[in-house]
């Protein structure tokens, strides 16, 4: 692959990047192994406000179940990305593209607390060190298991790999379906949202960018 001919590509990602620099580690809160009693009480109160009786048959255990589920759905706040990645960096003389594609993920939209889910594709060009392949889906999992918007999630994954690996380039593409669009609002069930964040050679070199996009597209077509 020829990496020598940079092509200037327009970008409007600077504001998104500023949101995540220096904030890729753990966010403090209650343990993911605990179900806060006050969260159960909040769910019970929510059921009352909606016109239900949280003590009726069928709903008696619902506050506990919902509190436990929400704690699991947001367990990424308890994950330390630095600890996750730092023990899996390996020196190697390799400078061709590494791609992990079709990473399934589930997240909660921070605007309506409704799920969005889909596939994440990650690629990078190493500069004398690589990260264990299993760590890339783990990074996706850490950030997706928080209250999110798809745009920020895309940036956080790319910026984390850039900060930890210092590679020649990083590319992240996310394709997702949002229940806040499918169940409410415009109610469009077949709408797919696509976001990307490119750094280094993936942003500066059109040939590198095109190669990455071609490889993840061919993978998506083959999996159908």
- Break the chain into its structural domains and give their ranges: 14-25+84-223, 37-73
Mean pLDDT of 138-144: 97
Q: What is the chain's mean pLDDT, rounded? A: 86
Predicted confidence (pLDDT) per residue in 42-55, tens digit: 999 999 999 999 99
Percent of the residues in the chain that have a pLDDT greater than 70, as a whole number: 81
Confidence of residue 13 (pLDDT cuts 50, 70, 90): very low
Distance (Å, rounded) from C-alpha 158 to C-alpha 139? 10
CA 175 to chain centre: 11
Confidence of residue 94 (pLDDT cuts 50, 70, 90): very high
Q: What residues have CB less than 8 Å from 49, skipping those under 6 apart?
A: none
Largest CA distance in the chain: 68
Domain 14-25+84-223, CATH: 3.30.1130.10
pLDDT at 19: 44
Distance (Å, rounded) from C-alpha 140 to C-alpha 100? 11
Predicted confidence (pLDDT) per residue in 95-119, tens digit: 999 999 999 999 999 999 999 999 9
3-state secondary structure the chain: CCCCCCCCCCCCCHHHHHHHCCCCCCCCCCCCCCCCHHHHHHHHHHHHHCCCCCCCCCCCCHHHHHHHHHHHHCHHHHCCHHHHHHCCEEECCCCCCEEEEEEEEEEEECCCCCEEEEEEEEEEECCCEEECCCHHHHHHHHHHCCEECHHHHHHHHHHHHHHHHCCCEEEEEEEEEEHHHHCCCCCCCCCCEEEEEEEEHHHHCHHHHHHHHHHHHHHHHHHC
Predicted confidence (pLDDT) per residue in 21-80, tens digit: 444 445 545 554 555 679 999 999 999 999 999 999 999 999 999 999 999 999 999 999
pLDDT at 131: 96
pTM: 0.82
Confidence of residue 171 (pLDDT cuts 50, 70, 90): very high
14 versus 201: which is more confidently predicted? 201
CATH class of the domain comprising 37-73: mainly alpha
Instruction: Check whether 14 has a pLDDT greater than 70.
Output: no
Q: Could you list the active site residues? A: 109-112, 150, 178, 180
């Amino acid at each position: 692959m020829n990496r020598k001919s940079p092509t200037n590509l327009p970008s409007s990602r600077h504001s998104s990047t500023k949101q995540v620099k220096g904030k890729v580690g753990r966010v403090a809160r209650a343990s993911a192994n605990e179900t806060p009693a006050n969260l159960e009480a909040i769910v019970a109160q929510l059921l009352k406000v909606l016109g239900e009786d949280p003590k009726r048959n069928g709903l008696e255990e619902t506050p506990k179940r919902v509190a436990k589920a929400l704690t699991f759905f947001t367990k990424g706040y308890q994950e330390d990305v630095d600890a996750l990645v730092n023990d899996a960096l390996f020196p190697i003389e390799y400078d061709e593209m590494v791609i992990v594609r079709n990473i399934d993920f589930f997240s909660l939209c921070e605007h309506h607390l409704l799920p969005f889910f889909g596939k994440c594709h990650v690629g990078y060009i190493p500069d004398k060190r690589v990260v264990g392949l299993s760590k890339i889906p783990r990074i996706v999992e850490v950030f997706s298991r928080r209250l999110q918007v798809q745009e920020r999630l895309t940036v956080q994954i790319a910026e984390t790999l850039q900060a930890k690996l210092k590679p020649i380039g990083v590319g992240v593409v996310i394709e997702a379906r949002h229940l806040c669009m499918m169940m409410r609002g415009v109610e469009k069930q077949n709408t797919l949202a696509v976001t990307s964040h490119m750094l280094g050679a993936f942003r500066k070199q059109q040939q590198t960018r095109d190669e990455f996009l071609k490889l993840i597209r061919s993978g998506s077509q083959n999996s159908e």
